[in-house]
Amino acid sequence: MNVVVCVKQIPDPAAPQALDPETRTLIRQGKLILDDSDAYGVEMGLQLANQAGGDVVTLVSMAPNGETSGLRTALAMGADKAILVSDDALRGSDALSTAKVLAKAIERAEPDLIIAATESTDGYTGTFPVQLAELLGLPSITFAKKVTVGDGTVVVDRQTEAGYDEVECPLPALVTVTAGVVEPRYPSFKGIMAAKSKPLEQLTVADLGLDASQVGAAGSRQEVTDVSAADERKAGEIVQDEGDGYEYVVRFLEQLKLI
């Protein structure tokens, strides 16, 4: 089985970040790291693939400046190889334009199963995985909290507001996994050293047979028109418990749909 894991390399969320005043999008200079939410997908892919039995886990990523640090981390966790698409023409890509590029790259890996995170930590659009599935003509299952593969199908416990649905679909397919689906392993030191020599294919827009006008800012239909500061956190409500405090707690949790 060929497993493809979509991996985003993002600026370190722990470091201070800035928006480009013109495009109002995140400035992505300097070292990028593996998006934490993708570590779950990588771990899921590694657990589902029987690498000893010839299954291959391929990482696919799109990043500026040929950046590979985040991919190396995922390779160190145990993935077999990686495809990176990097091209100046991709600057300013929106989710759909990214999906078009990565669809072309992913086709090359002939996947049986594609895994992506539910959403990225820096963009949070959460639309890329389903767009990708649509472009590839594959079924998709989102919000997986448990994934099993067997006999040409994938079975998923799909998180819902009330609990979860059991969903089954034929392979090839795309699955998005939630944080907590599995516990990502730490790359071992052997893995870190081995990652240096694992195959990492670097592709440009032209390599994928795409035209520069279809991708990047030129090919994007989405634009950030305004950025404003988030509302200040409001002060909490103080409830005096007169023996009925639990009712407030229950009502509050119900509002949040936690119970």
Partner 1 sequence: MHFAFDENQLEFRSQLRALTDKSCTPADIREAWASERGWSPSRWAALAEMGVLGLTVPENYDGLGLGLVDLVLLLEEAGRSGLPEPLLETTALAVPVLRDAGGAGAEQRRARWLGAIAAGDAVVAVGTASMPAVPGAGRADLLLLERGGELHAVEAAATRQTARRSLDGSRRPAEVAWEPAPATLLASGGDAVGVLASLADRAAMGTGAVLLGVADRLITMTAAYAVERVQFGRPIGSFQAVKHHLANALIRLEFARPAVYRSAWSLDHGDPEASRHASMAKALAADAATGAARMALQVHGAIGYTEEHDVQLWMKRAWSLAAAWGDAPTHRARVLERILGAGGH
Footprint of partner 1 (CB under 8 A): 72-73, 76, 186-190, 192-193, 196
User: Least distance (Å) from partner 1 to the CB of residue 37?
Assistant: 15
Cβ distance to partner 1 smaller for residue 189 or 246 = 189
CB 83 within 8 A of CB 9: no
Minimum distance between the CB of residue 237 and partner 1, rounded to whole angstroms?
Answer: 27
Q: For partner 1, give the closer residue by CB, 186 or 248.
A: 186
Provide, rounded to whole angstroms, the least separation between the CB of residue 117 and partner 1.
18
CB of 226 to partner 1, least distance (A): 34
Q: Which is nearer to partner 1, 44 or 75 (CB)?
A: 75
Nearer to partner 1, 76 or 138 (CB): 76
**Rounded CA gap, 239 and 52, in Å?**
58
Quote the least distance from Cβ 196 to partner 1, whole Å: 8
End-to-end CA, the chain: 39
Nearer of residues 42 and 156 to partner 1, judged by Cβ: 42
> 216-221, long-range: CB within 8 Å, 24+ apart, which pairs?
216/87, 216/89, 216/90, 216/91, 216/92, 216/93, 216/97, 217/23, 217/91, 217/92, 217/93, 218/89, 218/92, 219/93, 219/97, 219/100, 220/92, 220/93, 220/94, 220/96, 220/97, 221/94, 221/96
